[in-house]
Structure 1
Amino acid sequence: MSHLGRVKSEEDKAKYNLELVAKELSKLLGKEVTFVNATRGKELEDAIAKLPHGEVLLMQNTRYEDLNDKAESKNSPELGKYWASLCDVFVNDAFGTAHRAHASNVGVASNVKESCLGYLMEKEVSSLEKAVNSPAHPYVALIGGAKVSDKIEVLENLVKIADKMLIGGGMAYTFKKALGQSIGHSLLEADKLDFAKEFLAKYSDKVVLPIDNACSLEFSDVEPTFFEGDIPDNFDCLDIGPKTMKLFEDALVGAKTVVWNGPMGVTEFKHYKQGTLAMCKAISKLENCFSIVGGGDSVAAVEDLKMEDKFSHVSTGGGASLEFLQGLKLPGFEAIQEKN
């Protein structure tokens, strides 16, 4: 069973039909995958009952049930019990939704006789646990992305563990503004300035901010202008500059644990993804270092450079990995009976 997309209408059902997934899965497995165009009912029950030992069946998108008063996303007790009744053992390998309590993960795991982790889920959790609960030092956290508000809990949790915290991306400019610097038209969360001031005052010995910036007069992929210190009013900072790249690279040298979440700039633009690519290369060169990268744009940079094998772990879960790094429990993981 699996979900795909967000199903809110009949049009969405057509768009997110899992039949194509079943066909692709058949190719990958080298064997036929029986597809059942149903999420409940006699057709599904009969197909499961008739399924020969060792064969594979994929039912229709679990999110189809969201047209039934969001039964899947709201973890309907009735739906979870029903799906659990269709199996003997439940294996959850969907780390990407482990931070959500859905009928297809928590609901089934809470009602089935036996449940356990799949290999991917097991690797995700063990890698993140190592980074949060038993890391080797020196420990460097590299945090980027657009908004401080998206990463407050991650910042607060990791700064207590890490020896250094390097902050880049759009979120860095709220911190720079909190220090009294002019940031031009760069992204600013004014309602997070007090948090930024308190955070910097408390952890000034750990936090490292950009010292130069790749800027533009417009939000487009044009040649950057580089500024140190204050940014002129008309300019928008879209990436870290070369001196900051060197500063961050030097801070990474000798690290035994690195957790990286979030890009250093606007990775959609060739001229403003250079900081993110530089961090990817710097981390990939570290020796005897346990390195984790998570977040869509950061992972995309690693894949773009074909450096997946240079990192100890490349996380598949955006929201799930973020919540784990915040120190929160993941419902989809906690509901599993056999976690080892």
Structure 2
Amino acid sequence: MTFKRMQQLQLKGKRVLIREDFNVALSGDEIDNDTRIRAALPTIEMAVSMGAHVILMSHLGRPAEGKLISEQAQYSLQPVAARLSELLRTRVNLVQDYLGVVPTTAAAGDISLLENVRINAGEKANDDGLSKQYAALCDVFVMDAFGAAHRAQSSTCGVAKFAPLACAGPLLVRELDALDRFLKAPQKPMLAIVGGAKVSSKLGVLENLATKVDQLIVGGGIANTFLAARGINVGNSLYEPELVEVAAALLESTNIPLPTDVIVAKELSGSAPASTKLVAELEDDDMILDIGPVTAMNFAEIVGTMKTILWNGPLGVFEYDQFAQGTRVLAQAIADNPGFSIAGGGETVAAIDKFSVTEAISYISTGGGAFLDYVQGAVLPAVQILEDRASKNQLAVPHNVQPTGNSEG
């Protein structure tokens, strides 16, 4: 890709503003999973080693724009700052008042984290005024947040337009390289596993993958719609009748093996009794909540023959143990495969963690929506602006900063 990369630049003595994706799940002040934070560490450490004054920025959740963080403290990045301090073994200061503030001189190696960008009025609208204020904070802007690269917002796109220099960070580059290895230079045969609740939420992904892969395994509610397209009574299971014809067309054009047996229950709960049934034996009040053992074995055998694998979405409701075996078997089969595997999406990463196969997956993406958008062939706005800046030889639009919006974060 034709954009500047952070490691190509001279950062010594520079103020380097790095957009990361620290949108982590919290239980109170406790971080449930710090995978996204850990993924950013190599970028931060590299910038520090290059002599930069590092300024980090991120969003967290969906706070109200223009409202003080003190009035919605559950969206504060303070827990992230604390975790970064632990992992980096150096103090990471959380800065709340930074908009319209003239940057002070800081020592090389200093690290600070700006409070949640989504409390700033104009962030989601990619407001030029806000973008210029971000750009005024730095000498170099680094886009490293693949998980937010599909959003055209001030902290992902606008700042890249106005910063003196804009480049891609190592994490963003690794993400794009891994996905391009699957999409543009795969070893054959290749397989995609796409699970989840609805065909409608992943239709573009399914249609694009159908033109590339040798086999496409579907799971979850998505598989139910495909079963219905084959004339199977899916009972009380989640499916989309309005997309049955679309599923039927994909079945005709693509090699999509369907479940022959499934795990069912009469309700979705952690205490619901589960039973195994052939798909031809389903009753009207049955809910399909996982693939059956024979199907899991058959799918695992398919996985074993592949050289390139993409996985997005669970095969069943793996959060409950009685409906987790299908996802567990497929996760282990992918882990056992010596070929290249890439996995992405929040539920997928949670399953990988639950079944302890993290180290055996070739690449685990930090992106959810960005992962899906890129797989379906969409242009990621935050990547496009970096390419635009590179093609224009990094001539930034001049910025005369006028403070606007909320300055507490």
Task: Please give the range of the TM-score, normalised by the shorter of the 2 chains.
Answer: over 0.9
Q: What is aligned with 2:333?
A: 282
Residue number among 236, 240, 265 corresponding to 1:216 in the alignment: 265
| Counterpart Cα distance in 1 of 2:320 and 2:251 | 30
- Which residue of 2 is the match for residue 145 of structure 1? 196
By relative contact order (CA 8 Å, sep 6+), the higher-ranking structure is: 2
Give the ranges of 4+ consecutive aligned residues of structure 1 lying more than 6 Å apart after TM superposition: none
Within 2, Cα distance between the matches of 1:224 and 1:338? Answer: 56
- Between the aligned partners of 2:288 and 2:94, the Cα distance in structure 1 is 50
Amino acid at match of 2:231: G
CA 146–12 in structure 1, closer or farther in 2 if over 3 Å, else same: farther
Q: Please report the TM-score for the alignment, with normalisation by the length of structure 1.
A: 0.92
User: How far has the Cα of 1:34 moved from its partner?
Assistant: 3.0
Matches within 5 A, 1:49-128: 49-65=104-120, 68=121, 71-128=122-179
2:58 is matched with: 2
Q: Distance in 2 between matches of 1:60 and 1:144?
A: 35
1:228 aligns with 2:287: no
| Contact 2:197–2:221 (Cα < 8 Å) also in 1 | yes
SS in 1 for 2:129: helix
Q: Is the 8 A contact 1:106 1:335 kept in 2?
A: yes
User: Shift of the alpha carbon at 1:150?
Assistant: 0.9
Query: Mind listing any 5+ residue stretches in structure 2 that lack a counterpart?
Result: 1-56, 392-409
Deviation at 1:246, TM superposition (A): 1.0
What is the alpha-carbon distance in structure 2 between the residues aligned to residue 137 and residue 332 of structure 1?
31
Residue 234 of structure 2, aligned match among 180, 183, 187: 183
The answer to whether the Cα contact below 8 Å between 2:259 and 2:279 also exists between their aligned partners in 1 is no
SS at match of 1:323: helix
Does the Cα contact within 8 Å between 2:94 and 2:113 map onto a contact in 1?
yes
Deviations 1:152-196 (A, max 9, x none): 111110111100111111111111111111111011211111211
Equivalent AA in structure 1 for residue 105 of structure 2: K
How much is the aligned-residue C-alpha RMSD, in angstroms? 1.6
CA contact (8 A) 2:100 2:133 kept: no
Which residue matches 1:160?
211
Is 1:20 the counterpart of 2:70? The answer is: no
> What does residue 136 of structure 1 align with?
187
* AA at the equivalent of 1:15: Q
Of 18-27 and 185-194, the range deviating more from structure 2: 18-27
The number of residues matched between the two structures is 328
**Equivalent position amino acid for 2:85 in 1:** S
Q: Is the deviation greater in 312-321 or in 15-24?
A: 15-24
Q: Alpha-carbon deviations, 1:220-273, whole Å to 9, x = none?
A: 233311111331111100000001101101111221100011000012211101
Give the TM-score, by structure 2 length: 0.77
Identity %: 39
User: Does the C-alpha gap of structure 1 residues 95 and 12 become closer, same or farther in structure 2, counting only changes over 3 Å?
Assistant: farther
What SS does the aligned partner of 1:151 have?
helix
Partner amino acid, structure 2, of 1:41: G
Q: d(CA) in 1 for partners of 2:303 and 2:86?
A: 42
In the other structure, the counterpart of 2:404 is none
